[in-house]
Amino acid sequence: MDACELCRLDGGEVVVRTAQLRIVLVDDAQYPGFCRVIWNTHLAEMTDLVPAERSTLMAAVCKVEATLREVMAPHKVNLASLGNMVPHLHWHVIPRFTDDAHFPAPIWAAVVRVTPAQALAERLALLPALRTALLRNFNV
């Protein structure tokens, strides 16, 4: 698994780590609050997990989404599990706002606007509260 980026590296700032998964904040200047829920064991697909593990993973994804909604009040939350570039099971949990650089398209689409600097600064200022809420909501 040395070739797997998510086996070698944490994939961002680890906020929560359990025996099965980790929740990281992604360092993305355009998307403060962007989180990944990464399964620790190297697997590529949801169906590689047994049903109880799938439930654990999806419960974590939903808890991260709820926490983002609670703290950041986004217009929408995008959930994505692609794995085309990094075939290690992980979910993207992305707070979206109508003024973000790609809205309403996915964040991987072409940029359609520049997000106002003040809006980005306000979202960035919420990251300490997001960290605290994630720790609280995951009982860490």
Q: What is the pTM assigned to this prediction?
A: 0.95
Write the CATH number for 126. Answer: 3.30.428.10
Using a 10 angstrom Cβ sphere, with 0-12 exposed, 13-18 middle and 19 or more buried, the burial of residue 84 is: exposed
Can you read off the two tokens belonging to residue 127? Answer: 């990251």
Residue 68's nearest CA partner among 20, 131, 17 is 131
Give SS3 for 136: helix
Domain encompassing residue 12 = 5-137
Residue 107's nearest CA partner among 38, 33, 31 is 31
Can you read off the two tokens belonging to residue 8? Answer: 């070698």
pLDDT of residue 1: 61
pLDDT digit of tens for each residue in the chain (140 aa)? 678 999 999 999 999 999 999 999 999 999 999 999 999 999 999 999 999 999 999 999 999 999 999 999 999 999 999 988 889 999 999 999 999 999 999 999 999 999 999 999 999 999 999 999 999 999 97
What is the domain count for the chain?
1
Q: DSSP labels for the chain?
A: -TT-HHHHS-SSEEEEE-SSEEEEE---TTSTT-EEEEESS---SGGGS-HHHHHHHHHHHHHHHHHHHHHH--SEEEEE---SSS-S-EEEEEEE-TTSSSTTS-TTS---SPPPHHHHHHHHHTHHHHHHHHHHHTT-
